[in-house]
Amino acid sequence: MNTRLLYLASAPFEAAARVTVLAPGHRARGLHGHGYLASVRAASADGAEGLAARLAAAVAPLDYSYLNDTLEVPTDENVARWIRARLADARIESIGIQSTREQGVDLDGANRAHLWRRFRFEAAHRLPGVRAGHPCGRMHGHGFEVIVHLGEDLASRDMGVDYERLGALWQPLYAELHRRCLNDIEGLRNPTSEMLARWIWQRLQPRLPELSWVTVYETVTAGCHYDGAHFRIWKEQRFESAVRDPANVLFGHSYVARLHLCAPLDPLLGWTIDYGDVREAFTPAFRELDHQLLNDTTATGGDLASLLDWLRRRCAAALPALDRIDLYETPLAGATLCWGEQGPALPGRTP
């Protein structure tokens, strides 16, 4: 698999709309508004900051506007197309629109839509297979979040599957999971994130053939994806660091690194890799990054591309299953280095 470096940028805007192609009585047919977030992945020569500036300029005409004055049918899919047309030379791999925190769509270069909706439930669980003394062996709980992802070839259609349909399909699962002990549910005797993602997939896929991934957030910094055959996990790490730019200006960022790993499922433990083990394996690199001047500790220029390359090399021995790293220097600008399967897009980071 080739190594790919892509820059990530997001830009928020506020707008009102009516989506009159929806069925009579649908709530989005009426006048309403959203705090949108546009996000783009591109092999941009401008870097993350340049890409973010271009994206902000592209969405500026939409900010505090009535979208129907610009787009005949202002679905999330069509808004993404409109923005993509204004970034035609940015070597875009995908462009996404979140109309709310809970829903959005990403379009790739072949006009294939990756639509998603996020859900939440509150539940308790314990993992019976872990070693003695492991905290997950004790009964505890989480506010779990689930993202249901669909993949569709849109062609010239205004929209794919209606978000409301996803909500209706989720409701029976929510009734089974919310305010429950997951260990008591049939099929979830060992309710790891991976097992929960597979359990959800098995219940949704027969009624939703467009289903492409199920994502489970066990915490806000860790979770897994499942596509019906393969599992992927990620773990976020944060560090506060200084950097010196080529003009010798010294400043800093609150960085977020998202580590993506792909590994076989352990049949006894019910997971691929323990999130705690990922955190522990990253700790030596963290100590070289947190509260440090990155140019000195990494012997790089401190730019995103150089830092990602350093992270890959620094973590290779401790995390052999690592195949992608996302690194954000601000909530609206970052980069991703991928040398394996890309996996599904996660919702953009909001400021």
Give the pLDDT of residue 88.
Answer: 76
Give the pLDDT of residue 349.
Answer: 56
Residue 105 has pLDDT above 70, yes or no: yes
Helix residue spans in the chain (DSSP H): 47-59, 76-85, 163-177, 193-204, 275-289, 294-298, 304-315
pTM of the model: 0.93
Q: What is the DSSP string of 318-331?
A: T-TTEEEEEEEEET
SS3 category, 61: helix
- Name the least confident of 86-90, 197-201, 229-233: 86-90
Could you give the CA distance from residue 252 to residue 175 in angstroms, rounded to a whole number? Answer: 46
Give the pLDDT of residue 345.
Answer: 65
Looking only at the bridges linking them, the beta strands covering 112-125 and 180-181 are parallel
The pLDDT-based confidence of 156 (bands split at 50, 70, 90) is low
**What are the backbone angles phi and psi of residue 312, rounded to the nearest 5°?**
-60, -50
The pLDDT-based confidence of 348 (bands split at 50, 70, 90) is low
Could you give the CA distance from residue 163 to residue 116 in angstroms, rounded to a whole number? Answer: 8
- Cβ neighbours for 215, distance < 8 A, ≥ 6 positions apart: 146, 147, 149, 197, 223, 224, 225, 344, 346
Could you give the CA distance from residue 151 to residue 219 in angstroms, rounded to a whole number? Answer: 25
Give the pLDDT of residue 154.
Answer: 65
SS3 category, 52: helix
pLDDT (average), residues 238-252: 96
Query: What percent of the chain has a predicted confidence (pLDDT) above 70?
Result: 95
Per-residue tokens: 223: 């979770």
Residue 311 has pLDDT above 70, yes or no: yes
pLDDT (average), residues 138-150: 96
Query: What percent of the chain has a predicted confidence (pLDDT) above 90?
Result: 82
Give the pLDDT of residue 113.
Answer: 87
Give the pLDDT of residue 1.
Answer: 63
SS3 category, 26: coil
**Model pLDDT for residues 28-53, shown as the tens digit of each residue:** 888 999 999 999 999 988 899 999 99
Could you give the CA distance from residue 161 to residue 79 in angstroms, rounded to a whole number? Answer: 16
Could you give the CA distance from residue 181 to residue 123 in angstroms, rounded to a whole number? Answer: 6
Give the pLDDT of residue 351.
Answer: 46
What's 51's DSSP letter? H
Residue 198 has pLDDT above 90, yes or no: yes
Residue 239 has pLDDT above 50, yes or no: yes
Q: At what angle do helices 163-177 and 193-204 cross, to 10 degrees?
A: 120
Give the pLDDT of residue 262.
Answer: 95
What residue type is 281 in one-letter code? Answer: A
Q: State how far Cα 78 lies from the chain centre.
A: 21
Q: Give me the domains of the chain, ranges plus CATH numbers.
A: 1-109 (3.30.479.10), 117-150+168-229 (3.30.479.10), 232-351 (3.30.479.10)
Could you give the CA distance from residue 99 to residue 58 in angstroms, rounded to a whole number? Answer: 17
SS3 category, 28: helix
The pLDDT-based confidence of 115 (bands split at 50, 70, 90) is very high
What residue type is 70 in one-letter code? Answer: T
